Amino acid sequence: MLLFFEFCYAIWRFAAEDLSGQKEKRRPFPSYRKIAFFILLLAVASYLLRIVSPIGASTLGFPSLFDLPQYLSFFIIGTVAARGDWLRKMPGSMAKRVFGVALIASVTLLLLAIAGTEMSSLGWGSLIGQGSLSSAFYAIWDSIFAVGMTMFAIAFFRRYFSSAGRLWKFFSPHFYAAYIIQAPIIVTITAVMFSPIHIESLLKFGLASVIILPVIWASAYLVRKIPFADRVL
């Protein structure tokens, strides 16, 4: 799905008249009103899609198509943010306030959504979708929390982890390659090595991580050594 988004973006960039990106760089960081409007649109789109593709359902081969509005909108905003230098322009105070709203939503909207599913007297239906009232509360919380957590994480790491040591300088160029190849590596190793092992789940997770993480990063390093691969990975 990510590759599909990127393919569409590449077509749009080639078709665009202005490829310099100057307009994006002059674009200011969104206001509170625009952020709130985006959250509302995201919540409505997520709620409507989950009527036909509830949370947990596999649709068209995608196990999480119910989050398509979030995937697509965050991808678009990510490209705009990169070209507009929004990661540096975003006020830290704004990130804290939006994250505060996300926390408040977690103890109100999320609890309402869960309570509505647990208390049959309310009759709000399931929060996984299908047009229920609980699903509406959950979609609103989900959208607020996604935006708030994203902004907070950017501000937090920008302030406290803005410099890279030798280790991070090695990892940094390989992040995207590791992201692309990690799924088949995880599935293969867990299926071959750990499926026959019957131990406590948390312990199995720890043992698998010790093996899987080095394999992923080593594979990403080797893949980027293929001629021209580092241009796209």
| CA distance to 69, 76, 81, 147, 194, per residue, from 73 (Å) | 6, 5, 12, 11, 36
**Torsion sign (Cα): 78, 28, 98, 151:** positive
pTM, to two decimals: 0.75
Instruction: Judge whether 140 and 109 are in contact, CB under 8 Å.
Output: yes
Instruction: Judge whether 151 and 94 are in contact, CB under 8 Å.
Output: yes
CA 100, 86, 108: angle at the middle one, nearest 5?
20
pLDDT tens, N- to C-terminus, the chain (233 residues) = 778 888 888 888 787 655 555 555 567 899 999 999 999 999 999 999 999 888 888 777 777 888 999 999 999 899 889 888 999 999 999 999 999 999 999 999 988 888 877 665 566 778 788 888 889 999 999 999 999 999 999 999 998 887 777 888 888 889 989 998 999 999 998 888 888 888 888 888 888 899 999 999 999 999 999 998 888 88
| CA distance to 22, 136, 186, per residue, from 133 (Å) | 44, 5, 37
Instruction: Judge whether 39 and 147 are in contact, CB under 8 Å.
Output: yes
**Torsion sign (Cα): 224, 227, 231, 233:** negative
